[in-house]
Amino acid sequence: MRCDFADSLLQGYFDRELSAASAAEFERHLQYCVQCPAELVDMDLLSERLQFAQLYEPAPASLRKKIRANLRHATAATAMSKPLLWHWLAAAAALLLLAIAGWRVNSVVRTDDYQAELAEEIVDAHALSLQSGHLTGISSNDEQAVKAWFKRRLTFALPARDFANEGFALQGGRLDVMEGRTVAVLVYARHEHLINVFIWPTRERDTSPRVGSRQGYQWVDWRKGKIEFCAVSDASSAELEQLHRLIAG
Amino acid sequence: MNDLDAEDRLRFEQLVLPHVDAAFNLARWLLRRREDAEEVAQEALLRACRFFRGFHGGDARAWLLQIVRNTCYSWLDKHRPRELMVEFDEELHPQPAATPESIAIANEDRERLSRALESLPPRFREILVLRELEGCSYKEIAAITSIPIGTVMSSLSRARRQLCSALTSSCHKEAIREV
């Protein structure tokens, strides 16, 4: 049998992730444990072997070149219009107007693209969460328990409500990371389908629901009261809209 | 790539581009083939570019690696879904050595380690690559892989043990073959 600390403190100690006090305490444990010291040696040997073998593979020059080319392509248009502005003042004024108009249109399109992109990411995350089976960080249908669980982990107030009477039973919640920010996820069961509702704070104004589908999953995205919601499922989009109405109240 | 003005581009170059090696290395170990890794890393960088407006500072490497990881898993899901099914599989299938004689002695251990690492399920492979090759802290690993820090420790523990046993089983087989 392995030592109880082998999967936790031993790893933290080896990776120098423990506080000084915990490390000192663990060193006392090492003096009398019969397994941990041997495992520590194995881990050390393995790590050294991995370093020595130089398994790290840096990016090939061809990849760097492609990325640079893409970046240049992205900014070429802006760079070219600048000298023109200097040369012809009259033209400059016209161009400026055009640029502003263009920018306005562009920024609208951009927001839409951005939202659609994000929804796609969320659908991927939903599919992945089904696959890896780690659906819930907290598994509970108790609104207060779920709220309390999130309260310790989030900086915004989360509307966690159970709609079992309406056919959407709260299963629990978890945290996920989407493009570098933490998002809350509420999980509902609708007949045999699971629905993930991704929730995160936003600075944008309220929007009415937008729907879409990807890879056999439907999503509905809306913003209300500086919070953005995106519900994803293989349930029908009518069912998702029903859940949207329940959440939005 | 789209949606970048000159100022954004400069920030992107300063903050994100230094981590292209890390992006490629993670993709290479998750996908196990350099050509696929190059394609997916490029795709991930495009995504990073698109989402750059949503990045408000912080750990740029962890931010980029999280995008790389998601892009790799989406790609695997689409092209090699079977590889994602072998979740925490205790049964290991290291690939047989090409021709052990042909491998230079200096590279032998590197080959053996590569094969053993590639035989692990993707989730164990990624956590070892992030910790042992990339030198990420537990906090960074938790952010990149979206798992709690406690789970980082236990996954690392299991991944290390699996790698050790994959190494001994392949050594053992080679020893038998040599006899």
Q: What is the pLDDT of residue A76?
A: 57
Q: How confident is the model at residue A131 (pLDDT cuts 50, 70, 90)?
A: low
Burial B102-130 (b: 16+ CB within 10 A, else e): eeeeeeeebebbbbbbebbbbbbbbbbbb
Q: What is the pLDDT of residue A25?
A: 92
3.40.50.620, 3.60.9.10, 1.10.10.10, 3.90.1200.10: CATH of B89-179: 1.10.10.10
The β-bridge partners of A229 are: A199, A222
Q: Per the CB < 8 Å rule, is B163 touching A53?
A: no
B 81-100 → A contacts, CB under 8 A: 84, 87
Reported as a single tens digit per residue, the pLDDT across B12-30 is: 888 999 999 999 999 999 9
Q: Report the residue from B24, B38, B154 with minimal CB separation from A58.
A: B24
Q: Is 80 exceeded by the pLDDT of residue A124?
A: no
Q: How confident is the model at residue B177 (pLDDT cuts 50, 70, 90)?
A: very low
Q: Spell out the long-range contacts of B29-32 with Cβ–Cβ below 8 A and sequence spacing 24 or more.
A: B29/A57, B29/B117, B29/B118, B29/B125, B29/B126, B29/B129, B29/B133, B30/B69, B30/B72, B30/B73, B30/B76, B30/B122, B30/B125, B30/B126, B30/B129, B31/B72, B31/B75, B31/B76, B32/B118
Query: Nearest residue of B to residue A59 by CA position?
Result: B21
Domain ranges of chain B: 1-85, 89-179
Query: Nearest residue of A to residue B3 by CA position?
Result: A74
- Judged by a CB distance cut-off of 8 A, whether residue A124 touches chain B is yes
Contacts of A52 (CB under 8 A, 6+ apart): B109
Reported as a single tens digit per residue, the pLDDT across A6-30 is: 888 999 999 999 888 899 999 999 9
Q: How confident is the model at residue A136 (pLDDT cuts 50, 70, 90)?
A: low
Q: Is 60 exceeded by the pLDDT of residue A210?
A: yes
Q: What is the pLDDT of residue A204?
A: 79
What are the distances in angstroms from CA B102 to CA A120, B98, B105?
46, 8, 9
- Write down the H helix ranges in chain A: 9-14, 20-32, 36-52, 61-87, 89-132, 143-151, 237-248
Q: Is 90 exceeded by the pLDDT of residue B36?
A: yes
Contacts of B168 (CB under 8 A, 6+ apart): none
- Judged by a CB distance cut-off of 8 A, whether residue A61 touches chain B is no
Rounded mean pLDDT, A41-68? 89
Min CA distance, A183 vs chain B (Å)? 10
Kindly indicate whether the ipTM for this predicted assembly is greater than 0.90, answering yes or no.
Answer: no
In chain A, what are the domains? Answer: 9-52 (no CATH), 113-248 (3.30.200.100)
Q: Per the CB < 8 Å rule, is A180 touching B58?
A: yes
Q: What is the CATH number of domain B1-85?
A: 1.10.1740.10
Contacts of A177 (CB under 8 A, 6+ apart): A183, B66, B143, B144, B146
Reported as a single tens digit per residue, the pLDDT across B118-148 is: 999 999 999 999 999 999 999 999 989 988 8
Which of the 8 DSSP states describes residue A19?
A: -
On whether the CB atoms of residues A57 and B28 are closer than 8 A, the answer is yes
- The lowest-confidence range among A19-28, A64-73, B88-97 is B88-97
Q: Is 50 exceeded by the pLDDT of residue B102?
A: no
